[in-house]
Amino acid sequence: MKLFPRLSGHYRNLFAAALLVVPAAVPKTHKPAPKASPAPEGKLDIRLLITAEPDKVLKPTKGPDGQYSQAQPVKIAPRNQPLVGILFFKDCKPDAKGNCNLEVDVQGMTPGGQMFQNSKGDDLWRNKKAPHTGFVQLGVPKIRITIETKDPAGVYRVLAVAHDRNNGAEARAEASFEVK
């Protein structure tokens, strides 16, 4: 499995709210993770989208019908092609300066239970202006995964845990995909 370094830079927020309703793709051959109940208004919430179409989120363009197409979660991952995990969040607690301080831990698990990624304390939205309550914000990190020819078939899982350093709140999101 090949992992690419995270990219930094300016990210756009178009249609991030629509992506909050896209559920994590779980193959029918795998028992899905328990569904999380929606976060109450004002409580930290995150969503994780694993997609092969990151430009539809990061560089959206209108189609001939004037509508923006939405990135779809990967259900069956192609081998030797990059996948991108994109994190969205809402309702972080601003500090006295009006900034959020969110960090994220990301773990990736192979079908056999081995970790292929384990990062802690990555910048999700650190010392940046807090979005308005209820506004869905595209987070900083992008998770990049490539399933290589030699990697085992089965269901891969990616778990993200966000930590709000201003109030101690925590939120989790999980996505999975199948490799044949």
Predicted pLDDT at 126:
95
Residue 16 clears pLDDT 70, i.e. is over it: no
Count of domains for the chain: 1
Residue 5 clears pLDDT 90, i.e. is over it: no
Residue 133 clears pLDDT 70, i.e. is over it: yes
For 121-160, letters b (16+ CB in 10 Å) and e give ebbbbeebebbeeeebbbbbbbbbbbbeeebeeebbbbbb
The whole-number average pLDDT for the span 90-94 is: 96
Question: Confidence band (pLDDT; 50, 70, 90) for 98?
Answer: very high
The whole domain housing 146 covers 2-61+68-179
42-71 confidence digits (pLDDT tens): 699 999 999 999 999 989 988 899 999 899
The whole-number average pLDDT for the span 80-88 is: 96
Here the CATH number for the domain that contains residue 89 is 2.60.40.3880
Average pLDDT over the chain, rounded to whole?
82
Beta carbons of 14 and 135 less than 8 angstroms apart: no
Predicted pLDDT at 162:
97
Strand 115-129's sheet: what is its strand order? 115-129, 99-109, 154-164, 170-179
134-165 confidence digits (pLDDT tens): 999 999 867 999 999 999 999 999 999 999 99
Residue 26 clears pLDDT 60, i.e. is over it: no
Best-predicted range by mean pLDDT among 7-16, 19-28, 124-133? 124-133
Burial class (CB in 10 A: 0-12, 13-18, 19+), 52: middle
DSSP class of residue 151? S
